[in-house]
Amino acid sequence: MKKVLYAIWEHIEYLFAVLLFAGVFCLAITSGSFADPNVHGANYVNKIFDTSYVHQIDVSIDDKDYEDLLSEPREKIKYHTTVTIDGEVVNDVAFSVRGNGSLGYVASTPGLDRYSFTLNFGKFNKDNSYHGLDKLILNGLVQDPSGMKEYLSSMLITASGIDAPLVSFAQLYINGELKGLYATIEGVDRSYLTRTGAEKTAALFHPIPYSFDQDRIYKDQKSLPEGESLMIEERKNNFGGADLIYKGDDVEHYDAIFENASTKYSTEDVKLIINAIKSIDPLELELSPEDYWDIDAVINFFVAAELAPNTDSYLGDTSQNYYLKLNNGKISVIPWDHDRAFHAAKLDEDTPPEESAILWPIDSPLYYDIALEQRPLWLLISSNESYMKKYHDKLQKVIDEFILTGECEQRYNAAVELIRPYVYSDPTWNYDTGEFEHEAGYIGEFITLRADSIQKQLWGIYPITRELMKQEKE
């Protein structure tokens, strides 16, 4: 027995090393370093969307193609390129300009060519991808002095219980020339559905009203005889279904939805979506919303909208910047495009916009005095006592578990420190460093003050609706 104990003691360091390695290996598996069961085999998550460092992306494109791209950006032609991501080469990648309002801003600003781009890995070769990723969005941040709105919005949306598109940061080079710091965003496409565990038959739609759809307007204008102009004003109040208002069973009333599908869809999908819209019409009582909508997911969508408010959204006058995800016969809503996040419309003439965004009443989330009937998805939630309780409870849960724990502040601080040196050395940054520091500081303070405002509204200290706010001022 003594010999056995002596032998064990003599080799204790080796045994300890083996046990330590086994423990670390098990920990790595369970924590997701080697495999994450929550991302359903999407290997790109721990690569380009590792947020612990700024990535490097270099696009190699024929010089003539790049000249053409810059001369006709609105064409959004897809060019064959080779892309190197953190030293890894991916061949035959489609490279194109992207954007809507931001594209128009860059194209019309002299001396500014900091476009946003899309890398489509499977466009020219359906078997091609970047570790399972179909599309990568490269956001040039030309309308975001902080550089962090997409990242922080994604963080708060995820905390609200939504599978937000992933966001990280990268320095973009084109033919070896540094273009600057970009936000890299997961494309909401088939690979997104795979990562989030959706069924193979799931479908995605990105509703854009015609009057805000610069791509469709540009193409339609080009198709007209010379000298003729589009009558856009006539369609300004026709949202084409993007407002989710029921206009009948004819598919032509919902062109903003079905003209902007991100995946293939079936005739059954069309019927289901139209019935879902019909089910939330207060005058149509034959269909139940719970048969069509993932109610908890819809509630989470509005929770996220209060934590990262965005006037350029379904809650605003544009009724856009969201996706409809159809999975297993139920529809959920995914927020998108947060260049204008963390600001709000003015509550009244006496309250400045910054304060308005902080104090905005959570039970009156619609901006610009939009009537409830104009946004029936919110009307569905706000008119049901059980849904509203869930809405309030979820807001409280995010505040308790994400804001008050300090996790949100920690991740915000880490993001600021991560990108600051890259912003300061960025050769094409659209703002000066003082504007970066001011906006970054504003957003950090805003998140804290907004959470405090929501908490006080839930406690009844602050008014929770626009009507109560008006009564308080009288």
pLDDT tens-place string over residues 435-461: 999 999 999 999 999 999 999 999 999
Instruction: Report the pLDDT value the prediction gives residue 33, as an integer from 0 to 100.
Output: 31
Q: Which long-range contacts (CB under 8 A, 24 or more apart) does 34-43 make?
A: 39/195, 40/194, 40/195, 40/196, 40/197, 41/132, 41/194, 42/131, 42/132, 42/133, 42/191, 42/194, 42/195, 43/131, 43/132
Instruction: Report the pLDDT value the prediction gives residue 105, as an integer from 0 to 100.
Output: 84
25-51 average pLDDT score: 59
* 237 has a pLDDT exceeding 80: no
Mean of all residue pLDDT scores within the chain: 89
Contacts of 20 by beta carbon, 8 Å cutoff, 6+ apart? none
Instruction: Report the pLDDT value the prediction gives residue 365, as an integer from 0 to 100.
Output: 96
**In contact, 188 and 322? CB cutoff 8 Å:** no
The top-scoring range by mean pLDDT among 100-114, 175-189, 211-225, 346-360 is: 175-189
Instruction: Report the pLDDT value the prediction gives residue 415, as an integer from 0 to 100.
Output: 98
25-54 average pLDDT score: 63
Token pair for 15: 């045994």
Instruction: Report the pLDDT value the prediction gives residue 38, as an integer from 0 to 100.
Output: 43
* 474 has a pLDDT exceeding 80: no
Q: Residue for token digits 């504003």?
A: 442
Instruction: Report the pLDDT value the prediction gives residue 39, as an integer from 0 to 100.
Output: 59
Instruction: Report the pLDDT value the prediction gives residue 221, as an integer from 0 to 100.
Output: 78
The top-scoring range by mean pLDDT among 27-36, 345-354, 395-404 is: 395-404
Neighbours of 397 (CB within 10 A): 14
Residue 234: band (very low, low, confident or very high) from pLDDT cuts 50, 70, 90? low
First to last CA, the chain: 89
Strand order in the sheet with 203-205: 203-205, 322-327, 330-335
Comparison of pLDDT for 89 and 99, the residue scoring more: 89
Instruction: Give the span between the Cα atoms of 255 and 209, in whole angstroms.
Output: 8
Instruction: Report the pLDDT value the prediction gives residue 425, as an integer from 0 to 100.
Output: 97
Instruction: Give the span between the Cα atoms of 154 and 337, in whole angstroms.
Output: 10
Neighbours of 385 (CB within 10 A): 8
**In contact, 198 and 297? CB cutoff 8 Å:** no
Model-level pTM greater than 0.75? Answer: yes
* 13 has a pLDDT exceeding 80: no
Instruction: Give the span between the Cα atoms of 158 and 153, in whole angstroms.
Output: 8
Residue 7: band (very low, low, confident or very high) from pLDDT cuts 50, 70, 90? very low
Residue 41: band (very low, low, confident or very high) from pLDDT cuts 50, 70, 90? low
Residue range 341-363, pLDDT digits in tens: 998 888 888 888 778 999 999 99
Contacts of 75 by beta carbon, 8 Å cutoff, 6+ apart? none
Residue 82: band (very low, low, confident or very high) from pLDDT cuts 50, 70, 90? very high
317-340 average pLDDT score: 96
Instruction: Report the pLDDT value the prediction gives residue 167, as an integer from 0 to 100.
Output: 98
As a whole-number percent, the residues of the chain with pLDDT over 70 amount to 90
* 16 has a pLDDT exceeding 90: no
Residue 215: band (very low, low, confident or very high) from pLDDT cuts 50, 70, 90? confident
Question: 3-state class of 74 per DSSP?
Answer: helix
In the chain, % helix, strand, coil (3-state, to 5) comes to 45, 15, 40
Instruction: Report the pLDDT value the prediction gives residue 222, as an integer from 0 to 100.
Output: 78
Instruction: Report the pLDDT value the prediction gives residue 374, as an integer from 0 to 100.
Output: 97
